[in-house]
Structure 1
Amino acid sequence: MDKKLVIGMVNIHGLFRGYDQELGINPDTGGQTKYVLDLVKALSQREEVKAVYVYTRQIIDKKYDASYAQLEEQINEKAWIIRIPFGPKRYLRKEKLWPHIDSFVDQTLNYIRKSKIIPHVFHGHYADGGYAASQLGLLLGVPSIFTGHSLGRSKKRRLLEKGKQEERLQETFHFDERIDAEEFSLDSAACVVTSTVQEVEEQYAEYSCYHPETMEVIPPGVDLDSFEPYDESNTDTALTRRFEHFLTEPDKPAILALARPDDRKNFATLIRAYGENRELRNKANLILIMGNRKDIKSFSPEQRKVLYEVLYLIDYYDLYGKVAYPKQHDGDEVPFAYRWAASRRGIFVNPAYTEPFGLTLLEASGSGLPIVATNDGGPQDIIMNCKNGLLIDPFDTRDMAQKMLRLLTSPDLWQQYSRAGIENTRIYYSWDNHVEKYLKDLGEIVVGNRPRIFNVAKRDYRLSQIDRIIITDIDNTLTGDENSLKEFSQLVQEMQGHIGFGIATGRNKDSAMKLLSELDVPEPDIMVTSVGTEIFYGKKQITDESWQKRINYRWDRQGIRNLFDNVEGFYYQDEPQQSKYKISYKLDMERSMSIKNIKELLWREGFHAKVVFSLGMYLDFIPIRSGDGLAIRQLSFRWGIPWENILIAGDSGNDEAMLKGETLGVVVANHSMELEKLRGYPRIYFSDKSHAGGIIDGISYYNFLDTIEIPNERID
């Protein structure tokens, strides 16, 4: 291994820049954003780190600052932000990004190829970043790390418990995509960095791909330089004066809460607890810092609902003169708000339904402000370590009010928690400690030298002369209509020398070549066979040995067969359908378990494999590092063919992975229902012509044989 590490952070959603972070400006720009930037800065200060790159999303949107459109931004001499253009140019909330994540992966690979700098490790944040980091790691042959920040299974469960309908939840939050991405990230990760033991035991343990040996509890650090203990001289700012503008008795103790306007932050329960308790109302003022706002109507529907409910409850309980809710604040004013509340013997409250960690709790404690916090998530560990406050049930207004009153009416206890918070946050939650443990873990998972993925192709291969290529599935895509097949074969024969032809199929090489010969189809330049587990180049069908070595990772063919051979509804296919890295079954769907349950059983039993389902009856197990999509990206890297110069045609579920991303996809009209979910994806064209006729139509749609055009290119 090189002496100095290059680390790639993958933080896709929200607004990310290296200065003046706009925390709370929208639901996706909050604690995770701050955590990643602070981690990057801390890592970049270490001697053993050569460079840290943050791969995030480029956003070109008049609603947001132009800095988020800048392709590269230097944070310091060893840290950079790389903004990747993909999907629509405008800002999208994270739930709307799922159709575009494979495009992010492709465009990030493009950037890495051009820069010729491959990180030793990719660290993905949240489900989207975890998925992308895993894919990048698999393609580049380096390990990945995953930090979930918040997890889909626990959030979905809580919402269902509140009476939400599952179908509506899927429409709003896309839990299926999120949870699948989390499972994939957990299965791929060499290390999972978590903040608390509770997070591991009660959240990550819910997942089928939970592997206890990969879990590392490393509490985040907190930059406490700005969060100095309070005194009478360091509490006054324009923000604190704005608090006093709302309040009839501004010198009373303050109950301070700070979070973006999000239903999960549970402001409504806090206001009810305060409004329903006369003693609490008489004892203290309530200060709500809920991000920045100019016009509530400009907020998302979810945020508007939260703000309207806050205003309604303030009016309902007649809390005028007792509650402050300023419209604006700067990030550098927040430390003054903590100190202002502490100087009045107030408290800081986090009433969220769940809190993955609790950064603001540590900032408040570092300023001398005792805390009252939700009993779900990170606050358990924080209060256990720091001895700085009390836990509450976020659903119980009486419990919340009593705990707040206890601190506000017990001077000795308040002083005890204030002092303990100031001291212990600096002992337990320093970035130096976090990075020390983080780099120790990296040293254990990063072995050997950086991979040489940018292979120089042998010049005697015809592929070295190709600048674009058409790759198609065989069965039901290429085949099925004799006339259009003949037309396509003639087109391939007449193509200029710089245009290649390839096939990607579930068949093995011999079966595929036999069928192509029978159909009088020209020999392909590239063959991706056995569902992306084998790659062959040129007329001599030279095996990509590096691909075979890579996909062997954690592959247990016999173990998977032992698990599924005797399961009801599973029928092991004939040997010609099998290969070293592919196990194929035919399913009786009326008798077999669902595909979702098959995946969960596979992962729960500790097998690292992908499940590919096609045509409503065929099931393949392949290695976690294989698949048509990854195989095509391998050949793109090996031969230097740009994504937009690769046209992919398919008809069934086992073609899904290779159709997504920045390549040019064509779905023929006779496709199976498994591909309908791709309708509307960027760069995927659904032809109204079947079989080979659909391929020809797609070639025309993209003008692929001349100057390539992409009608469904990136839009505003």
Structure 2
Amino acid sequence: MYILHLALGGCLKAPPVPFGVTADTGGHIAYVLDAALHQARRSDVSHVEIVTRRFDDPRFDPVHAQQREHVAPGLAITRIATGQPLYLEKEALASDLPAFTQAFCDYLAALDPRPDVIHAHFADAAAVAIAAQRRFGIPFVYTPHALGIDKRAHHIQCDGLDARIDAERRAIKAAAAIIVSTREEATRQVGGYRVPVGDRVHCLPPGVTTQPRNPGVVTLADRLGDWFNEPDRPLVFAVARPVVKKNLAALVRAFSADAELHRNANLLILAGQHDLAGPEEQGILAELRHLAMDTRLHGRIALPSAHDGTDVAALYERAADRGVFVNPALHEPFGLTLIEAAAAGVPVVATCNGGPAEIVSTIGHGVLIDPRDPAAIASAIKGIIGDPVRHAVLSKAGKHGVAAYNWDRYAQDSVALYRSIAQPRLLVCDIDNTLTGCPVGARAFADWRSGSPLPFVVATGRDFATARAILSDWGLPQPDAYITDVGTRMMLADTSGNWRECRVFARTLDQDWDAESVERVLSSLALTPQPATTAGPHKISFFGTAEDAARIDAALVRAELPARVIFSHGRLIDVIAPHGGKAEAVAAYAGRYGWSLAHCVAAGDSGNDSDMLAACGHAIMVGNASEELAHLPSRPGLHRSATHHAGGVLEGLARLGLATVQTEAQIEPVAA
């Protein structure tokens, strides 16, 4: 198996990583690297690739300008360049996303073989993966890491929050599977988007990220006397990015307000790399420095301006001696630092909001607090560092319980999930020359359908009434839904068996579609219109050649009018809404049941089937398919049948184990 991880934000490089060098160089970087490293060690994985942005920024390691970096056997980092050479913070990535998407798809187009799966980290990477799936049929898995909906729930304001939440909702809808780290993340956080997910959400806890520790190197733990009057006192330790949601100021306030606590302990906070902090981080750092000026904290608090992985490992080791690790975040999606602390034998005091509640419950190495209650934070810290017996019990629990978080187990379960995500849940077939054309094949398909539980939808260029009539004339079964008019209309049956148009899909097609302006631009091209009965609110149709279709497309591009131009059957041209088409309609129908395109099998023969054949996890090109589909690249999920018409559909289904192999008497042979 060839696995591709896609992560755009932060400074992603081979270890050691300078965590905190930017606001986005944090826990998800460790997650991606450790997941990929352990997957690459498996015998059933051929190789693993991490793809990220390429940038050449004098503020950062020049390795980020390298196109490819070897990490370990079977694992490399590939960097994709765009027209923007500088590093971009997460909020600025949106403007560069179209260029990155195009460059990434160009990169995939040149690969042979292509990845079996893309694992997208954060919604920006998922947006790129969605485009890649539409073009190449590569299924993708999504890991959110942190969700904007939680920022809103905790009244944390930031630019672009609405757009971020919309992007996360699209990622949840489109992903073949969603990997999260805790059950709370699966139910409350992902569930908060109110998107049907079916059984696509999987809780796979990550492992502990082992920090490097070189005994011969002088670390911050060896220099505690630089800050503390009495460096041997118990250490209250925290490490987090200096942003609002990490709530570090509350920890300082709790420490300074409790006289007993700051008499008997020292506080050290690693809050990123100060000299590279962005505007929000500089504001938080200024607040921390101001609070640290409290005379009561003289010789009791340290805010080192820089650190590396060796420092972190040494400080965990130091805190294990009578100290405690604190995570006071307003909300924490997971909390990798809490399992790092557990592995080092450090008891923890952690926020009750998010992943830490599950981690602490699983490991049993600390207590939970309300992060908005400074008195509760101080009390919890004192309850551990002031009780040697309790400290020893919690330390032992951490070292023992951290076994629940294991990267080898994660690698095993994630690879198994990758293999299972394309299990077919839905069959979508064109009608003309795919299901029709051979009476014997049509009867065999009807027989198969009568005994198969697989949901079945037709997707046709025909209108609804004509599509129903053709199915009836050919003795073909009625589907569970109709996608008609080249993917610009969806018809659903209500509980009484009456057919109605899906208004939700129709409203989707209204977006960015200006039919009047499109008609006005095309009126100057001397085109031959199809009969008025073929038109629809999201579809304008003509007769013509492939060259005519190209002229239409060029005219719309010049006019900056979004639309899709589809040429099929050697003479039909359909100009449809930009969010229309068979693939988009299939995705919308599948999404009603919590499925993605990766779970769909598409069968077709002509150009208006091209998008769904490219995007669905499994595709069947019947033996009589036209040259209009010759451009579709070979891939593991695409089957080119030798048999024509409905027999070719059955041949493809048999390849998937969904039908029995037909005999030559049952299906139409290949035409001479």
Note whether the superposition's TM-score is higher than 0.5: yes
Partner of 1:25: 21
Q: Displacement, 1:638?
A: 7.2
Matched, 1:62 2:40: no
Q: Are the counterparts in 2 of residues 262 and 303 from structure 1 also a CA contact under 8 Å?
A: yes
Partner of 1:112: 108
Q: Are the counterparts in 2 of residues 533 and 627 from structure 1 also a CA contact under 8 Å?
A: no
Describe the superposition over 1:316-365 as per-residue Cα deviations: whole angstroms up to 9, x where unpaired.
Answer: 3531200112222221221111111212x100111111111111111111
For residue 213 of structure 1, give the secondary structure of its aligned residue in structure 2: coil
Distance 1:125 1:480, change over 3 A: same
Partner of 2:490: none
Matched, 1:89 2:65: no
For residue 11 of structure 2, give the secondary structure of its aligned residue in structure 1: coil
Distance 1:506 1:194, change over 3 A: farther
Q: Displacement, 1:239?
A: 1.4
Q: Displacement, 1:538?
A: 8.8
Distance 1:538 1:67, change over 3 A: farther
Describe the superposition over 1:629-667 as per-residue Cα deviations: whole angstroms up to 9, x where unpaired.
Answer: 99xxxx9997699xxxxxxxxxxxxxxxxxxxxxxxxxx
Matched, 1:312 2:290: yes
Partners of 2:272 and 2:245 lie apart in 1 by 14
The one-letter amino acid paired with 2:135 is: L
Matched, 1:535 2:511: no
Structure 2 counterparts to residues 603-682 of structure 1, below 5 A: none
For residue 89 of structure 1, give the secondary structure of its aligned residue in structure 2: coil
Q: Displacement, 1:627?
A: 14
Q: Please identify, of 399-408 and 57-66, the stretch whose mean Cα deviation from structure 2 is larger.
A: 57-66
Q: Are the counterparts in 1 of residues 316 and 344 from structure 2 also a CA contact under 8 Å?
A: yes
For residue 22 of structure 1, give the secondary structure of its aligned residue in structure 2: coil
The one-letter amino acid paired with 2:107 is: Y
Partner of 1:354: 331
Partner of 2:228: 247
Q: What RMSD in Å do the two structures reach over aligned CA positions? A: 3.9
Describe the superposition over 1:367-415 as per-residue Cα deviations: whole angstroms up to 9, x where unpaired.
Answer: 1111111111111111111110001111100110110010011111100
Q: Displacement, 1:278?
A: 0.4
Partner of 2:136: 140
The one-letter amino acid paired with 1:368 is: G
Partner of 2:277: 299
Partners of 1:137 and 1:604 lie apart in 2 by 19
Matched, 1:405 2:430: no
Distance 1:88 1:424, change over 3 A: same
For residue 348 of structure 1, give the secondary structure of its aligned residue in structure 2: strand
Partners of 1:385 and 1:151 lie apart in 2 by 23
Partners of 2:309 and 2:629 lie apart in 1 by 43
Q: Displacement, 1:506?
A: 9.2
Partner of 2:151: 155
Q: 1:367 aligns with which of 315, 327, 344?
A: 344
The one-letter amino acid paired with 2:302 is: A
For residue 523 of structure 1, give the secondary structure of its aligned residue in structure 2: helix
Matched, 1:442 2:418: yes
Structure 2 counterparts to residues 163-562 of structure 1, below 5 A: 169=157, 172-224=158-210, 226=212, 237-294=218-275, 299-316=277-294, 318-343=296-321, 345-425=322-402, 427-446=403-422, 475=515, 477=517, 480=520, 511-513=540-542, 523-525=548-550, 535-536=566-567, 540-541=571-572, 553=586, 556=589
Describe the superposition over 1:67-109 as per-residue Cα deviations: whole angstroms up to 9, x where unpaired.
Answer: 1111111212311211111252211111111132232221111
Q: Displacement, 1:223?
A: 3.7
Q: Displacement, 1:474?
A: 8.9
Partners of 1:533 and 1:190 lie apart in 2 by 25
Q: Are the counterparts in 1 of residues 141 and 179 from structure 2 also a CA contact under 8 Å?
A: yes
Q: Displacement, 1:216?
A: 0.6
Describe the superposition over 1:528-555 as per-residue Cα deviations: whole angstroms up to 9, x where unpaired.
Answer: 8999787315963499xxx987556455
Partners of 1:200 and 1:415 lie apart in 2 by 33
Partners of 2:207 and 2:535 lie apart in 1 by 48
Partners of 2:383 and 2:215 lie apart in 1 by 27
Partner of 2:508: none
Partners of 2:390 and 2:420 lie apart in 1 by 44
Q: Are the counterparts in 1 of residues 324 and 348 from structure 2 also a CA contact under 8 Å?
A: yes
Partners of 1:637 and 1:279 lie apart in 2 by 76
Q: Are the counterparts in 1 of residues 13 and 77 from structure 2 also a CA contact under 8 Å?
A: yes
Distance 1:191 1:532, change over 3 A: farther
Q: Displacement, 1:220?
A: 0.5
Partner of 1:125: 121
Partners of 1:628 and 1:554 lie apart in 2 by 13
For residue 181 of structure 1, give the secondary structure of its aligned residue in structure 2: helix
The one-letter amino acid paired with 1:123 is: H
Partners of 1:256 and 1:531 lie apart in 2 by 54
Distance 1:154 1:317, change over 3 A: farther
Q: Displacement, 1:33?
A: 0.8
Q: Are the counterparts in 1 of residues 136 and 614 from structure 2 also a CA contact under 8 Å?
A: no
Q: Are the counterparts in 2 of residues 183 and 209 from structure 1 also a CA contact under 8 Å?
A: yes
Distance 1:61 1:640, change over 3 A: farther
Q: Displacement, 1:110?
A: 0.3
Q: Displacement, 1:315?
A: 1.0
TM-score, length-normalised on structure 1?
A: 0.64
Partners of 2:310 and 2:69 lie apart in 1 by 21
Partner of 2:454: none
Matched, 1:99 2:123: no
Distance 1:235 1:65, change over 3 A: closer
Q: Displacement, 1:437?
A: 1.4
Q: Are the counterparts in 2 of residues 235 and 339 from structure 1 also a CA contact under 8 Å?
A: no
Q: Displacement, 1:292?
A: 2.2
Q: Displacement, 1:138?
A: 2.8
For residue 394 of structure 1, give the secondary structure of its aligned residue in structure 2: coil
Q: Are the counterparts in 1 of residues 549 and 565 from structure 2 also a CA contact under 8 Å?
A: no
Partners of 1:125 and 1:40 lie apart in 2 by 12
Distance 1:190 1:524, change over 3 A: closer
Q: Displacement, 1:150?
A: 0.5
